[in-house]
Amino acid sequence: MGYRSEVIAGVPAKDKKKALEIISDWDEYALEDDMFYMRAESWKWYDSYDEVSKFSKFILENEKDRFLMAIGEDGMLVEESGQPWEYGVEYIANIDHGIFFEDKEVLTELKGIKIEED
């Protein structure tokens, strides 16, 4: 099994062939505005893996025009290189819960629970 990550990378369209020579079996691809994007949903993205190390180095050769982002299955940012935000790719973390929260006025007025403030 192992720890898995969602990975997205983008390179100028002219670098598509070089990128795919390193890793060619991505889950999805897109070509927009002279950028070539690659995405994988559930990969073991370890720098100790030869392809991963080579691909990361490839991205780092030109961080101005290339980017890479990997998010682990636990929601942690595993790797970020380049400037993904320049291409509309952002890391957003939130807490998912099943709790229904009420503000303190509602608690006091409707339920008789007073929240003390310092």
Query: In angstroms, what is the C-alpha Rg of the chain?
Result: 21
The pLDDT tens digits for 58-73 are 999 999 999 999 999 9
pLDDT for res 92: 80
d(CA 54, CA 44): 15
Instruction: Give me the domains of the chain, ranges plus CATH numbers.
Output: 5-87 (3.30.70)
The pLDDT tens digits for 1-27 are 679 999 999 999 999 999 999 999 999
d(CA 115, CA 78): 39
